[in-house]
């Protein structure tokens, strides 16, 4: 009798403990009885057979409790536990277990089989396994004979892909692992059935996805972020087509190799940020194919996370938008350019103007110039020679205009024969005039078109921001109005919008023309203003100041023409003339036996920036036979500070030649003490504006005192300019200023009068100035009234 199991269909024959208990008792009984009988035979005493029987029975009775408690019950419990375990295992196993005999009759199934097939165990036990499982290979039944015939049985277990048949007639893919085991005289098949519907579906899905990725027109790459440098682990055929690289050439590399040298793109930075933050992102990158050609890659990247949420891969989907871009650029170009001339059209012009105005408002405060140009006789050309020639002319005009301007300027065509020229950030008015003149000049040459020589001229109207308008529209409108004015003025000329501007330009032009003439006709002369030593009261030096003796106007102040000479470059020959004349004059005075004086000559910024300045100065000294120690060059504070390092170098070179340096207009610029220390400067000239007010304005007084103290600290001497009053002189003397220059002692004089002044031996005492009782220490001719009187 088998041990009872809850698994009704489980025909497991476990040995019955009770039967074994009785078998054991029987064995004990018979062994004991046999021993007794053997002894009886040996001792010829078989008469007490009933005693032997009774004795064996007694032994059995005595052994029974022991056997039951120590052997049978534990066996029974062990069997129960084992059965329970098997029951639970079979009950909860997700895979189905099925057993069938050689005839294919099902012998055993577990609950998983019931769930899988929809049959109860009772319904299925005894039925043919063919009703549940169908082989895939030949589409029909091959159980159990096919199984029995298979060679694989030698390896113990065979696995098949099969189809399961549910009770409702539906089918599902399954995997069957069968073992053939011998139980008693029979072979039994023990099968493990697994429903692989989900796995098959996943496999199918994967296959589909792979197909989709492979047939995608977008390039797709997958990288592995768990490896250093995020290498590519997959690319699809579209990626290969797009980049020209075969998969094996890119696997293992970081995708950045596609970017070539252009690694500084803004988009690349954004992409790095997306990688760092482990998020997706959309970028447009400039990439290069294997053959080096550029393509625009519209790239979408997305992270792939594992179950724990950790990013393991990145998927990149790329789209070659090169053509799209090209098309877009063409569209933009057509929308912003004039198709005939290729120049910016009104749209782009307005954009650029607006941008330039906005920039001006923030950055440079220099004006912006808009020139409105109209061809003077275009209509006639069009009417007489036809539109083809008219178009050719418009194109040729565009080319000539473009040749008149610089890189940052704009030449645009508004339509018809109207052009606009924009000059942003105008530093000097001269630049505007130069461009306008250049434009008028390029129209002087005829346009050779289709064998004809065509002459056209242009009228230009000029408006400047912010005076003539602060908006695009206002500037265009006013430049247009100025252009009409130019037409009224007889065409082939330029006119400014503001009347004042026109007058200024006219004056400047007149001045410029006469400056050129003045240089040719030697209309310049020098005046000399003495410097006086406050310790001796005597003339200690002289400054040469240029004058223009205009034939009609008379003497013109350098304040008027020096800036123009600077702008036009005329200062270079003029400055050289001044230097030569001053040195020559100084030499003449020396030769006439007058006490030698140092002569100061002003150097303008343009002169200072001249490459051959040193050679020029050296040449003049040699030519005029003046020893370098009698020359001093004056440079403005702002100029030497602007030039910084270059100033240090040039001033040092001049100093080494023996020439003294003075810094002019000191106090009006921003000095860097560190530079000031490094400049080999002998004199600081305090600007006359401070001297003028120092006796009234305590701030100016403080400033003058501070400059004197600082100059002395740096080992420099101080010269006060523009001294007109005794109280100024008194203040300066009290604060130990070394020299003064100004109307108080003398105005600038011509050479002859200056010579007379020198010969007269005039000193400060003659001007009524009382010298201090005590001088400044141990300089020559230091102390006392007598010294001042000389
Ligand atoms: N109110 C008043 N003014 C006084 C007094 N004493 C002298 N001045 C004037 O102050 C100016 C001093 O010259 P600056 O500061 O070098 O200023 C000079 C200098 O920067 C420039 N300049 C003159 N000649 C030359 C030259 O040959 N080359 C260069 N590059 N610039 C020159 O023109 C500026 C003006 O020269 P000037 O008209 O000759 O004016 C001179 C002089 O006449 C005074 O007591 N009161």
The mean pLDDT value of the chain amounts to: 86
Q: Whose CA is closest to atom 21 on ligand 1?
A: 558
Task: Please work out, in degrees rounded to the nearest 5, the angle formed at the alpha carbon of residue 508 by the alpha carbons of 503 and 510.
Answer: 95
- Rounded mean pLDDT, 61-79: 84
**Span from the CA of 558 to the centroid of ligand 1 (angstroms):** 7
Lowest mean pLDDT segment, chosen from 68-82, 288-302, 414-428, 696-710 = 68-82
Give the SS3 label for residue 683.
strand
Whether residue 531 is predicted with pLDDT greater than 50 in this model: the reply is yes
Give the SS3 label for residue 748.
coil
Q: Whose CA is closest to atom 28 on ligand 1?
A: 602
Q: Specify whether 86 is located in the same domain as 97.
A: no
More confident residue, 50 or 7: 50
What pLDDT does residue 140 have? 52
Ligand 1: which atom is nearest the Cα of residue 526?
A: 27
What pLDDT does residue 300 have? 96
CA pair distance 581, 563, nearest whole angstrom = 21
Length of the chain: 790
Cα 699–chain centre separation? 48
Lowest mean pLDDT segment, chosen from 291-295, 524-528, 777-781 = 777-781
Give the number of domains in the chain.
Answer: 5
Whether residue 506 is predicted with pLDDT greater than 80 in this model: the reply is no
Q: Residue 363: which pLDDT band, with cuts at 50, 70 and 90?
A: low
Show the DSSP H helices in 599-696 as ranges: 605-608, 613-624, 637-643, 645-657, 673-678, 688-693
Q: Specify whether 750 is located in the same domain as 643.
A: yes
Residue 532 domain-assigned?
A: no
Burial of 249 (0-12, 13-18, 19+ CB in 10 A): middle
Lowest mean pLDDT segment, chosen from 13-27, 301-315, 377-391, 751-765 = 13-27
Here the CATH number for the domain that contains residue 686 is 3.20.20.450
**Span from the CA of 527 to the centroid of ligand 1 (angstroms):** 10
Label the pairing between strands 186-195 and 96-101: antiparallel
Whether residue 468 is predicted with pLDDT greater than 80 in this model: the reply is yes
Q: Specify whether 593 is located in the same domain as 700.
A: yes
Burial of 569 (0-12, 13-18, 19+ CB in 10 A): exposed
CA pair distance 748, 741, nearest whole angstrom = 10
**Residue 171: what are its φ and ψ, rounded to 5°?**
-120, 155
E strand spans, 427-523: 447-449, 452-454, 458-465, 494-496
Do 341 and 318 touch, CB atoms closer than 8 A?
no
Q: Residue 513: which pLDDT band, with cuts at 50, 70 and 90?
A: confident
Q: Specify whether 224 is located in the same domain as 277.
A: yes
What pLDDT does residue 232 have? 96
Q: How many CA atoms lie within 13 A of 705 on its CB side?
A: 12
Lowest mean pLDDT segment, chosen from 11-20, 424-433, 666-675 = 11-20
What pLDDT does residue 773 have? 40
Residue 690 domain-assigned?
A: yes
What pLDDT does residue 555 have? 84
Whether residue 758 is predicted with pLDDT greater than 60 in this model: the reply is yes
Q: Specify whether 113 is located in the same domain as 23.
A: no
Q: Residue 146: which pLDDT band, with cuts at 50, 70 and 90?
A: low
**Residue 420: what are its φ and ψ, rounded to 5°?**
-125, 135
Residue 12 domain-assigned?
A: no
Q: Specify whether 606 is located in the same domain as 649.
A: yes
What pLDDT does residue 782 have? 24
Q: Whose CA is closest to atom 24 on ligand 1?
A: 545
What pLDDT does residue 670 have? 72
Q: Specify whether 651 is located in the same domain as 677.
A: yes
Do 701 and 731 touch, CB atoms closer than 8 A?
yes
Whether residue 692 is predicted with pLDDT greater than 80 in this model: the reply is yes
**Span from the CA of 640 to the centroid of ligand 1 (angstroms):** 18
Residue 62 domain-assigned?
A: yes
Whether residue 435 is predicted with pLDDT greater than 60 in this model: the reply is yes
* SS3 readout for 168-220: CCCEEEEEEEEEEEEECCEEEEEEEEEECHHHHHHHHHHHHHHHHHHHCCCEE
Q: Whose CA is closest to atom 16 on ligand 1?
A: 602
Give DSSP secondary structure letters for 759-785: HHT-BGGGGTPPPPSS-SSSSTT-SHH
Residue 530 domain-assigned?
A: no
* Cβ 639 under 6 angstroms from ligand 1: no
Q: How do residues 269-282 score in pLDDT, each as one tens digit?
A: 898 899 899 999 99
What pLDDT does residue 262 have? 67
Ligand 1: which atom is nearest the Cα of residue 724?
A: 45
Where is the domain boundary, 271, 300, 326? 326
Q: Residue 768: which pLDDT band, with cuts at 50, 70 and 90?
A: low
* Cβ 529 under 6 angstroms from ligand 1: yes
* SS3 readout for 309-376: CCEEEEEEEEEECHHHHHHHHHHHHHHHECCCCCCECHHHHHHHHHHHHHHHHHCCCCCEEEEEEEEC
Lowest mean pLDDT segment, chosen from 139-148, 191-200, 528-537, 758-767 = 139-148
Residue 206 domain-assigned?
A: no
What pLDDT does residue 489 have? 85
Q: How do residues 180-223 score in pLDDT, each as one tens digit?
A: 887 777 778 889 999 999 999 999 999 999 999 999 999 999 99
* Cβ 94 under 6 angstroms from ligand 1: no
CA pair distance 631, 606, nearest whole angstrom = 20
Q: How do residues 635-650 score in pLDDT, each as one tens digit?
A: 988 888 887 888 888 9
Task: Please work out, in degrees rounded to the nearest 5, the angle formed at the alpha carbon of residue 48 by the alpha carbons of 45 and 51.
Answer: 135
- Rounded mean pLDDT, 362-375: 86
Residue 789 domain-assigned?
A: no
CA pair distance 606, 613, nearest whole angstrom = 10
* Cβ 135 under 6 angstroms from ligand 1: no
Of 197-201, 307-311, 630-634, where does the model show the most confidence? 630-634
Lowest mean pLDDT segment, chosen from 69-73, 162-166, 393-397 = 69-73
- Rounded mean pLDDT, 59-63: 88
Q: Specify whether 319 is located in the same domain as 355.
A: no
Whether residue 420 is predicted with pLDDT greater than 90 in this model: the reply is yes
- Rounded mean pLDDT, 583-609: 94
More confident residue, 235 or 266: 235
Overall pTM > 0.80? no
Here the CATH number for the domain that contains residue 237 is 3.30.450.20
Q: Specify whether 592 is located in the same domain as 613.
A: yes
- Rounded mean pLDDT, 522-534: 94
Q: Residue 784: which pLDDT band, with cuts at 50, 70 and 90?
A: very low
CA pair distance 484, 376, nearest whole angstrom = 11
**Span from the CA of 696 to the centroid of ligand 1 (angstroms):** 23
Q: Whose CA is closest to atom 44 on ligand 1?
A: 722
Q: Specify whether 446 is located in the same domain as 469.
A: yes
Lowest mean pLDDT segment, chosen from 82-96, 246-260, 320-334, 729-743 = 82-96
Give DSSP secondary structure letters for 100-140: EETT-BEEEE-HHHHHHHS--HHHHTTSBGGGTEEESSSSS
- Report the candidate in 520, 600, 518, 530 with the shortest Cα–Cα distance to residue 562: 518
What pLDDT does residue 475 have? 94
Angle between helices 429-442 and 499-520 (to 10 degrees): 80
Ligand 1: which atom is nearest the Cα of residue 685?
A: 15
- Rounded mean pLDDT, 544-559: 88
Domain range for 690: 558-772
Q: How do residues 85-124 score in pLDDT, each as one tens digit?
A: 877 777 788 889 998 887 888 988 988 999 999 999 899 9
Q: Residue 777: which pLDDT band, with cuts at 50, 70 and 90?
A: very low
Q: Specify whether 633 is located in the same domain as 761.
A: yes
Q: Specify whether 350 is located in the same domain as 475.
A: yes
What pLDDT does residue 138 have? 54
Pairs from 169-174 (Cβ < 8 Å, separation ≥ 24): 171/134, 172/116, 172/197, 173/197, 173/200, 174/116, 174/133
- Report the candidate in 486, 417, 421 with the shortest Cα–Cα distance to residue 456: 417
* Cβ 110 under 6 angstroms from ligand 1: no
* Cβ 636 under 6 angstroms from ligand 1: no
Of 253-262, 661-670, 732-741, where does the model show the most confidence? 732-741
Largest CA distance in the chain: 189
Where is the domain boundary, 293, 326, 359? 326
What pLDDT does residue 91 have? 78
Where is the domain boundary, 68, 90, 112? 90
What pLDDT does residue 249 have? 96
What pLDDT does residue 511 have? 79
What pLDDT does residue 71 have? 79
Give the SS3 label for residue 302.
strand
Q: What is the ipTM of this complex?
A: 0.95
More confident residue, 616 or 785: 616
Ligand 1: which atom is nearest the Cα of residue 665?
A: 15
Which of the listed residues 558, 585, 667, 723 should we mutate to test ligand 1's pocket, taking the one with most ligand atoms within 8 A of CB?
558
Here the CATH number for the domain that contains residue 383 is 3.30.70.270
Residue 259 domain-assigned?
A: yes
Whether residue 11 is predicted with pLDDT greater than 80 in this model: the reply is no
Please report, rounded to a whole number, the percentage of residues in the chain having pLDDT higher than 90: 51
What pLDDT does residue 787 have? 24
Q: Whose CA is closest to atom 27 on ligand 1?
A: 546
* Cβ 480 under 6 angstroms from ligand 1: no
């Amino acid at each position: 009798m088998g041990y009872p199991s809850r698994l009704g269909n489980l025909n497991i024959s476990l040995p019955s403990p009770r039967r074994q208990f009785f078998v054991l008792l029987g064995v004990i009984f018979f062994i004991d009885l046999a021993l007794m009988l053997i002894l009886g035979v040996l001792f010829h005493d078989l008469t007490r057979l009933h005693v032997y029987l009774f004795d064996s029975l007694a032994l059995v009775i005595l052994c029974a409790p022991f056997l039951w408690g120590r052997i049978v019950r534990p066996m029974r419990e062990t069997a129960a536990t084992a059965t329970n375990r098997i029951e639970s295992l079979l009950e909860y196993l997700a895979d189905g277990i099925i057993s069938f005999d050689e005839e294919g009759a099902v012998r055993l199934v577990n609950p998983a089989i019931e769930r899988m097939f929809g049959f109860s165990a009772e319904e299925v036990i005894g039925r043919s396994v063919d009703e549940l499982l169908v082989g895939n290979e030949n589409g029909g039944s091959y159980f159990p004979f096919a199984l029995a015939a298979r060679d694989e049985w030698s390896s113990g277990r065979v696995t098949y892909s099969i189809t399961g048949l549910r009770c409702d007639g539906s089918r599902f893919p399954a995997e069957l692992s069968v073992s053939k085991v011998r139980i008693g005289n029979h072979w039994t098949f023990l099968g493990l059935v697994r429903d692989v519907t989900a796995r098959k579906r996943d496999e199918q899905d994967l296959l589909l996805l792979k197909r989709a990725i492979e047939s995608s027109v977008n390039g797709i790459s997958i990288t592995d972020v768990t490896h250093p440098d995020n290498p590519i682990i997959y690319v699809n055929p579209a990626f290969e087509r797009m980049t020209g690289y075969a998969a094996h050439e890119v696997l293992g590399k970081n995708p950045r190799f596609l970017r070539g040298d252009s690694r500084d793109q803004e988009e690349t930075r954004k992409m790095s940020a997306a990688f760092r933050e482990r998020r997706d992102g959309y970028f447009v990158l400039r990439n290069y194919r294997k053959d080096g050609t550029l393509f625009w890659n519209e790239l979408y990247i997305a992270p792939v996370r594992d179950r724990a949420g950790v990013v393991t891969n990145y998927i990149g989907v790329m789209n070659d938008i090169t053509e799209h871009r090209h098309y877009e650029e063409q569209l933009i170009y057509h929308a912003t350019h004039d198709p005939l001339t290729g120049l910016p059209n009104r749209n782009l012009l307005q954009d650029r103007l607006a941008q330039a105005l906005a920039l001006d408002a923030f950055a440079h405060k220099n004006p912006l110039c808009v020139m409105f140009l109209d061809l003077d006789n275009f209509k006639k050309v069009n009417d007489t020679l036809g539109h083809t020639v008219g178009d050719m002319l418009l194109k040729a005009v565009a080319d000539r205009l473009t040749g008149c301007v610089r890189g940052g300027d704009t030449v645009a065509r508004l339509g018809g024969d109207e052009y606009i020229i924009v000059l942003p950030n105008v530093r000097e008015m001269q630049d505007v005039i130069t461009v306008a003149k250049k434009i008028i000049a390029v129209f002087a040459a005829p346009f050779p078109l289709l064998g004809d020589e065509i002459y056209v001229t242009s009228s230009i109207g000029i408006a400047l921001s912010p005076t003539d308008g602060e908006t695009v529209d206002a500037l265009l409108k006013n430049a247009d109005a100025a252009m009409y004015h130019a037409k009224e003025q007889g065409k082939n000329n330029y006119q400014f919008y503001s009347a004042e501007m026109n007058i200024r330009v006219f004056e400047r032009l007149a001045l410029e023309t006469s400056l050129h003439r003045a240089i040719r006709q030697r209309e310049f002369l020098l005046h000399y203003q003495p410097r006086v030593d406050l310790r001796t009261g005597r003339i200690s030096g002289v400054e040469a100041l240029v004058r223009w003796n205009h034939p009609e106007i008379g003497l013109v102040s350098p304040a008027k023409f020096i800036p123009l000479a600077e702008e036009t470059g005329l200062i270079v020959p003029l400055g050289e003339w001044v230097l030569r004349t001053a040195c020559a004059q100084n030499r003449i005075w020396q030769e006439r036996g007058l006490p030698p004086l140092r002569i100061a000559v002003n150097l303008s910024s343009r002169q200072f920036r001249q490459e051959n300045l040193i050679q020029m100065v050296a040449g003049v000294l040699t030519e005029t036979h003046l020893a370098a120690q009698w020359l001093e060059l004056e440079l403005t504070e702002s100029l030497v500070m602007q030039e910084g390092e270059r100033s240090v170098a040039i001033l040092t070179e001049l100093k080494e030649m023996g020439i003294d340096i003075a810094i002019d207009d000191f106090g009006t610029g921003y000095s860097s003490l560190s530079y000031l220390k490094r400049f080999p400067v002998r004199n600081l000239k305090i600007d006359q504006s401070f001297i003028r007010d120092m006796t009234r304005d305590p701030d100016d007084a403080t400033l003058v005192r501070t400059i004197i103290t600082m100059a002395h600290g740096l080992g420099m001497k101080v010269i006060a300019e523009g001294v007109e009053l005794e109280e100024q002189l008194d203040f300066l003397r009290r604060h130990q200023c070394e020299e003064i220059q100004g109307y108080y002692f003398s105005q600038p004089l011509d050479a002859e009068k200056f010579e007379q002044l020198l010969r007269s031996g005039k000193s400060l005492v003659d001007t009524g100035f009382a010298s201090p009782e005590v001088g400044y220490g141990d300089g020559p001719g230091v102390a006392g009234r007598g010294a001042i009187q000389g």
